[in-house]
Structure 1
Amino acid sequence: MEAQAAWTVWGLDASLAVTDAGMLAAAQEIVQSVLADVELACSRFRDDSELTRLQPQLAAGAIVSPTLLDLVERALAAARWTDGAVDPTLGTDLAALGYDRDLVSVQVLPDDPRPQGSQPVPPAGSVRARRVPGWSRIRIDGRTLTVPADIRLDLGATAKAAAADRAATEVHSQLGCGVLVSLGGDLATAGPGPGSPGAAAPGAGPGAGPGATEPWQVLVQDLPTDPSQHIALDPGSAVATSSTQKRRWKHAGADVHHVLDPRFGLPAEAVWKTVTVAAPTCLEANAFSTAGIVRGFAAVEWFRSAGVTARLVDQRGSIVTTGGWPAESNIVEVRASRG
Structure 2
Amino acid sequence: MNTSDDVPIACSNCFSDRGLRLDAERIGREELSGACPNCGATGFKKLPAPGVGALAHRFFVWGSMQRMRYGAAPLIQFNKHQQTSIDVAPWLAADVKLIERLLGVGFFLYEPRLWMIGEVEPLKDLQRTTKRQAIVDRVLSEYPERMLSPDESFYRVRISPSTPSDPRQYDSPPPASAGRGRLDSVRTPMLYASPDLEVCVHECRVRAEDDVFVATLAATKPLRLLDVSILLKEEGVSEFESLDMAVYMLFLAGKHSYKITRAIAEAARDAGFDGLVYPSYFSLLRIGQMPFQTTYGISHRRIPQYQDYEEAKAIPNLVLFGRPVSSGAVSVSCINRLILSRVGYEFHFGPTGA
TM-score normalized by the length of structure 2: 0.27
Q: Is the radius of gyration larger for structure 1 or structure 2?
A: 2
The structure whose residues are more often helix, as a share, is 2
TM-score normalized by the length of structure 1: 0.28
